[in-house]
Amino acid sequence: MQKEQNDTASIEVIHRRIMGIRGDRVMLDLHLAALYGVETRQLKRAVRRNIHRFPPDFMFELTREEYNSLRSQIGTIKRGEHSKYLPMAFTEQGVAMLSSVLNSRRAIEVNILIMRAFVRLRGMMASQKEVARKLAELEKHLQDHDEQIQAIFTAIRQLMTAPERPSKKIGFQLREKRASYGSR
C-alpha cells in the first residue's frame, strides 16, 4: 500500500515535469537527471556516447529561443544554475531509450514511473477530447433549443398583438322588430 502511494506521488511529480515543446510531450535532461540521481552532464555524456539510439523524434536539443522562452514562461531553468549548454528534450520514446543507456536499477524504476506518467497523461488528454466533443454537442443542442424558444416567443407576441381591423361578429344577431305582424 505504501509503495502504491509513493508511486502515485512520484507519478504526480513526473507529470508536472512533462511539458509541450514543438508539439511533443517531453521531459528536459535536467529533470530526468534529478529523477535518476545523476548529474545533468553525466546524463548528457551517456546520451552523446550513444547518440545513434536517439533519433530526432526521441530527443532533440532546444534552440536558444526555445530555451529563453521556457525560462521566461515557467522559470524552470534559471540563469547560472544549470549547464551552459542548451537542454535536451526527450520524448516518451527517448525516455524509454534512456533506461538502456543508464543501466542502473534506479534508472529502470524511474523509467517505469515515467512511462506510467506518460500513459496517464495520454488518458487525461483523451478524456479532455471526449469532454470537448460532448460540450460541443451540448452547445449545438442548446442552440437548437434557443431557436425553438425564439420561435415560441415570436408566436406568443403575434397572438398578443391586437388585430389591425375589427373583426366581424360571429353568431346569431337579433334585428330590431319591425312593425307588428298584424298590421299590414
pLDDT at site 51: 92
**What is the Rg, in whole angstroms, of the alpha carbon atoms belonging to the chain?**
37
Most confidently predicted of 16-20, 114-118, 180-184: 16-20
Locate 164 and state its grid cell.
389591425
103-126 pLDDT, tens digit per residue, is 777 777 777 777 777 778 777 777
Average pLDDT over residues 71-91: 69
Whole-model pTM: value is 0.56
134-146 pLDDT, tens digit per residue, is 777 777 777 777 7
Tell whether the model's pLDDT for residue 60 goes beyond 90: yes
